[in-house]
Amino acid sequence: MPRRKRTAGSSSDGTEDSDFSADLEHTRASESVHRRSSTRLTRASLRLSRSSQDQKRGADRDETPPRTPTGNAPSSESDIEVSSPSNDHDERLAKELSLKEAAAHDLSHRPKRRRFHESYNFNMKCPTPGCNSLGHLTGRHERHFSISGCPLYHNLSADECKGKASTRDKQADERTLSHRQDENRHSTRSQAPTDRQLRYKEKVTELRRKRNSGLNKEQKEKYMEHNQSHGASREPLLENITSDYDLELFRKAQARASDDLDKLRLDGQVSEGSNMIKTIVFGRYELDTWYHSPYPEEYARLGRLYMCEFCLKYMKSQTILRRHLAKCVWKHPPGDEIYRKTNISVFEVDGKKNKIYCQNLCLLAKLFLDHKTLYYDVEPFLFYVMTEADNTGCHLVGYFSKEKNSFLNYNVSCILTMPQYMRQGYGKMLIDFSYLLSKVEEKVGSPERPLSDLGLISYRSYWKEVLLRYLNNFQGKEISIKEISQETAVNPVDIVSTLQSLQMLKYWKGKHLVLKRQDLIDDWKAKETKRGNGKTIDPTALKWTPPKGS
């Protein structure tokens, strides 16, 4: 190892030893080649390299021959390239270039290309009853995890799908060959059909003419038995419904659609068997969903929905949405505008008069609420939709619904703030507006239970704020929970629970006493001063009279 010690040394006159630097450079080059080589060694070359290493083990380090770009020691003296200080700069550049080319041809560092079915999660199973997830409708993949690719659902076997796939490939090759033969013909509008095209047209006409006009008794019984035994879990029998030619065209379209759906599923645009919409495109936002919503199955299995933010109609693709927006005349929710201050408006929408809009609103809300159960029975409810206006229209901020005739005096059945407007004060505005309506009705209100997690947090924060504001303005000596309830329209049960959480309710000598904690009031006043009066409801801006029944 004396060479190792001289790597950082120099001669007495301050110049490095040229022979040593050349040898060191040669050693480093051989080690770098050895590291970059990743080609597998055959048994013969491995034995040869071991024998050469044993023969040269006792030799000096500088005499170790460089390895070839394949990683093996050279088999003869003619293969050894001797590096000496006399080698010029061009030879070193040529050697480095050859090493780079060898590394470029070595593809072992690249990840192994996965086959199509290997990209799936194998914990998934095909939802078709009795299916083992083997085979694919296209005949090109070994497994499937959706109804669209299930051979059993389409009343076929995996081998039949493979046979149909090979037949389709042969037909495609024949069609490509025939197109090449017709390339020499001039492509003009008045070009007459070729003999091949005429023969094909006659063949199709003959195939369609041979189709039976109807089903016989045995076929009808077979179809009825199939429908009774399998129901919607299998595709209906399609034989003899149309000609064999048209049925084969339909099968080709099914296979192609299944292949396209699987590609979309791998890209994450279609969910795998969970029937849960992952994202929605809503106006200029793309929102991630939180919970399942019972949209129709053909929409629920899509990974992404496109929605009009004004009429709330849901669509399957960006193209359909773009065409819809070109002719949609809605710029605000239907119903009556009962509140407006600056750019904030609230519309009262009757579920009986605007049924489709309210149903779409409930389906949209279920994507972000866990405990919501109302979807389609919207007629007994009124919906109060809050919007934010700009030069393009009134954009949905949130809403709450309430029963037209509630026996338990619930002033809110369901409440939602859209995710893009959360943590901006709109939730408290909606709650405050619901209690404002209760004050106008001269009733005491409370939200319907159970509340969602975010709803419970919002309501507790609102009740705390209302109580601290009331206590800050209260100048008397004795305070009554009933008086607080009548002035704030908050249910006494909610007032008591809030006071208990704030540790402001104490039982002493057989009576409940409300403690006025000045520290909490001071903290609230500081937060109010810092927050300002940006997101508040102005009672004078409300133009509304309570409805007189449904």
Q: How far apart (Å, rounded) are the C-alpha atoms in residues 130 and 150? A: 11
Q: Pick from 207, 309, 307, 281: which is nearest to 249 by CA? A: 207
Q: Pick from 465, 452, 440: which is nearest to 542 by CA? A: 440
Q: What's the longest Cα–Cα distance across the chain? A: 112
Q: How far apart (Å, rounded) are the C-alpha atoms in residues 381 and 352? A: 8
Residue 89 exposure: Cα atoms within 13 Å on the Cβ side: 0
From the CB of residue 25, how many other CB atoms can be counted at a distance below 10 Å? 14
548 phi, psi to nearest 5 deg: -100, 75
- Provide the residue type at 383 as one letter: F
Q: How far apart (Å, rounded) are the C-alpha atoms in residues 369 and 372? A: 6
Q: Which of 160, 235, 403, 448 is catalytic?
A: 448
Q: Pick from 440, 446, 441: which is nearest to 466 by CA? A: 446
Q: Give the position of tokens 């102005």.
A: 538
Provide the 3-class DSSP secondary structure of residue 379: coil
- Provide the residue type at 121 as one letter: N
- The reply to whether 206 belongs to the active site is no
Cis preceding linkage at 333, omega within 30: no
Q: Token pair of 76, please?
A: 């003869």
CB contact burial 368-400 (16+ within 10 A = b; e otherwise): bbeebebeeebeebbbbbbbbeeeeebbbbbbb
Where in the sequence numbering do the catalytic residues fall? 448
